Amino acid sequence: MKVFVAQQNYHIGNFDRNLELILSALKRAEEAGADLAVFTELSVCGYPPRDFLEFDDFIRQCEAAVDTIRQHTHRVAAIIGAPARNPDPKGKDLFNAAWVLHEGEVKAVVHKTLLPNYDVFDEYRYFEPATQWKVVPLFGHRIALTVCEDIWNLGDNPLYRICPMDELMLQSPDLMINISASPFDYDHDEDRKEVVRQNVLRYGLPMIYTNAVGSQTEIVFDGGSLAFDASGTLVRELAYFREDECLLDTAELLQPATKSDHSGIQASVLEKDMRVKRIDDPEQIIPYLTAVHNMAQVHDALILGIRDYFSKMGFKKAILGSSGGIDSAVTLALACKALGPENVRAVLMPSEFSSGHSVDDAVTLSENLGNPYDIVPIRGIYDSFLRTLSPIFGDLPFGLAEENLQSRSRGNLLMAIANKFGLILLNTSNKSELATGYGTLYGDMAGGLSVLGDVYKMQVYALAEYINRHGVIIPQNIITKAPSAELRPNQKDSDSLPDYALLDMVLFQYIEKRRGPREIIAMGIDETLVRRVLKMVNANEYKRNQFCPIIRVSSKAFGVGRRVPIVGRYLG
């Protein structure tokens, strides 16, 4: 059997566009001589559709699209992803399903069994889990067809009580196919590849694994669809961060498996154990977070996130505040790469506390990138605010209120220009700042999309170096100078925050690894520092709750995947 693997970038709820993508791929599959075309999880409607699934009209449009695809499967069969109604009044109304279409008919509808309900996933909110499992006979094969999470229930501490493949093996399948929408984070691709390979070695069957690509608001799907033969050898790996497709022959995959050979699994487990040990060693955390391989992936994910957010929302041009600092510089460089420099407007807004080199650095950056920029000093606006507030502020000393007035003045200017010219404001705050509340609501925390909100400060520096890998784009002075908000004389970030290398180490352990103060202190990190940092994180949830969508690149980003109370006293 010849299988055409289609790794495509869908648009949630855009049925016409998604249908066009699928049908055009079916045509290419037919021209290539394929017997079967395999698409990804919920390909008909896009993933994750979230509460759109609660609208009957949305489900009807899914069904209409499935019916249209069915009519185009006389020569080439198709496996697509779409919701399916649950005829039983008990349980939820829908299944997350893989539809097998051939000869103009629905040959099978396979329901997803394992419904993730953690991090960015919320499937049990909408779907009923499968309660029966049947192999799909097709072109002389007996296919064990599963959906995404169904192959992840491995290891010594499985999340679910049932494993769909264990049930399907009772029916003697000879090929596994998994359709997936597995999001990106900067080390998930290796975990994903190993999960697929472990399934192959455990069941002695080859697997074709298709994964979605593209960005859906904050979630990035990186593609990287896979094919393993029955011996656990990787036969094909599709591109990352872009659409791709390939033609496979199952004859090449159906090689005898050596079921007793678990050396591959053991080697991979050892490699993962070594990675865990590295991130348990305080001295290895920052090198792990800033590794070149990670930064290359983060770079590509952020560009895809920006590009898809704009294209799928119908936006054309962006604006951001360019301060001459590292965060705005990296954001500007990424935005220019994603949208084209002519479509990204930088606004430099110096105050009386801004250093001369900050403006010069920002100008040099825009000249290097070739993007338009404006210089709009804010001293007059700031002084006007102070005069207006003088009767109320009286003789109280200069403090946080005066500092934040500058940031909010800049936010107002940026939003005014954005409104006037139909631009979208990109936020430049990084994850370290968001974690600790080092930002001003309605000021530098304003924006329609956060580019660096899931990127720690030390990773921002590493991204800058990666951006400069072929030549200087971001001026070296921006990378080497001490970071500062420049809201008061001689201000430095270090006046308010610990050294970023130390701060990011603690934040990573608390946010990504969910370790408490005792565990982090036991790693040899100063107790006073740990308790101070964790208190800052929890105390500033109210700020993050009002923040814009953040492009997710880590295993635990702020936003929909991290749900903690605003009002609480844990570690407070």
41 is catalytic: yes
Helix (H, G, I), strand (E, B) or coil at 519: helix
Confidence at residue 403, expressed as pLDDT on a 0 to 100 scale: 92
Name, in order, each residue with C-beta under 8 angstroms of 522's C-beta and a sequence gap of 6 or more.
none
Catalytic residue among 112, 312, 457, 556: 112
Q: Which residue carries 């036969």 as its tokens?
A: 235
C-alpha to C-alpha distance for 229 and 524, rounded to whole angstroms: 46
Instruction: Give SS3 for 180.
Output: strand
Domains defined along the chain, listed by start: 2-252 (3.60.110.10), 290-491 (3.40.50.620)
Task: Assess whether 556 carries a catalytic annotation.
Answer: no
pTM of the model: 0.94
- Could you write out the DSSP letters of every residue in 215-271? EETTEEEEB--EEE-TTS-EEEE--BSS-EEEEEEHHHH-PPP-TT--HHHHHHHHH
Instruction: Please name which of 195, 161, 198, 170 lies closest in space to residue 180, comparing C-alpha atoms.
Output: 195
Dist CA 4 CA 121 (whole Å)? 28
Taking alpha carbons only, the member of 17, 25, 15 closest to residue 72 is 25
The pLDDT tens digits of the residues spanning 58-84 come to 999 999 999 999 999 999 999 999 999
Which class for 95: exposed (0-12), middle (13-18), buried (19 or more C-beta within 10 A)?
Answer: buried
User: Which of the residues 45, 62, 148, 163 is marked catalytic?
Assistant: 148
User: Rounded to an integer, what distance in angstroms lies between the CA atom of residue 502 and that of residue 178?
Assistant: 41
The 3 state secondary structure assigned to 99-121 is: EEEECCEEEEEEECCCCCCCCCC
The DSSP secondary-structure symbol of 461 reads: H
Cis peptide before 48 (omega within 30 of 0): yes
| 43 in Cβ contact with 81 (< 8 Å) | yes
Alpha-carbon torsion angle 472, 473, 474, 475, nearest 10:
50
Report the C-alpha gap between 454 and 298 in whole angstroms. 10
Distances (CA, A) of 539 to 293, 397, 426, 536, 564: 34, 25, 25, 5, 11
Q: Are 97 and 109 in contact (CB under 8 A)?
A: yes
* Residues 60, 93 contacting (CB under 8 angstroms): no
The per-residue pLDDT for 256 is 56
512 is catalytic: no
Torsion-angle region of 46 (φ positive above 0: left; ψ -120 to 50: alpha; else: beta)? left
Q: CB-based burial of residue 263 (10 Å sphere; 0-12 exposed, 13-18 middle, 19+ buried)? A: exposed
Q: Are 223 and 213 in contact (CB under 8 A)?
A: yes
Per-residue pLDDT of the chain (572 residues; tens, 9 = 90+): 999 999 999 999 999 999 999 999 999 999 999 999 999 999 999 999 999 999 999 999 999 999 999 999 999 999 999 999 999 999 999 999 999 999 999 999 999 999 999 999 999 999 999 999 999 999 999 999 999 999 999 988 899 999 999 999 999 999 999 999 999 999 888 899 999 999 999 999 999 999 999 999 999 999 999 999 999 999 999 999 999 999 999 999 987 545 434 444 444 444 554 454 456 788 899 999 999 999 999 999 999 999 999 999 999 999 999 999 999 999 999 999 999 999 999 999 998 876 668 899 999 999 999 999 999 999 999 999 999 999 999 999 999 999 999 999 999 999 999 999 999 999 999 999 999 999 999 999 999 999 999 999 999 999 999 999 999 999 999 999 888 766 767 777 778 899 999 999 999 999 999 999 999 999 999 999 999 999 999 999 999 999 999 999 999 999 999 999 999 989 87
Distances (CA, A) of 201 to 158, 176, 187, 252, 267: 18, 12, 22, 16, 13
Catalytic residue among 41, 194, 403, 512: 41
In the numeric block, the tokens 């000393």 are attached to 397
DSSP label at residue 49: -
Q: Residue 263: what pLDDT?
A: 45
Residues 6+ apart with CB under 8 A from 19: 44, 65, 68, 69
User: For position 486, what pLDDT does the model report?
Assistant: 67
What residues contact residue 104 under an 8 Å CB cut-off, 6+ apart? 70, 71, 73, 74
Q: What does the chain come to in residues?
A: 572
Give which of 433, 440, 444 is closest to 483, Cα–Cα: 433
CA distance between the termini of the chain? 61
Crossing angle (nearest 10°) for helices 356-369 and 326-339: 20
Helix residue spans in 422-550 (DSSP H): 431-436, 457-467, 476-480, 500-511, 517-521, 527-539, 541-544
CA distance to 76, 279, 298, 324, 399, per residue, from 512 (Å): 44, 11, 16, 30, 34
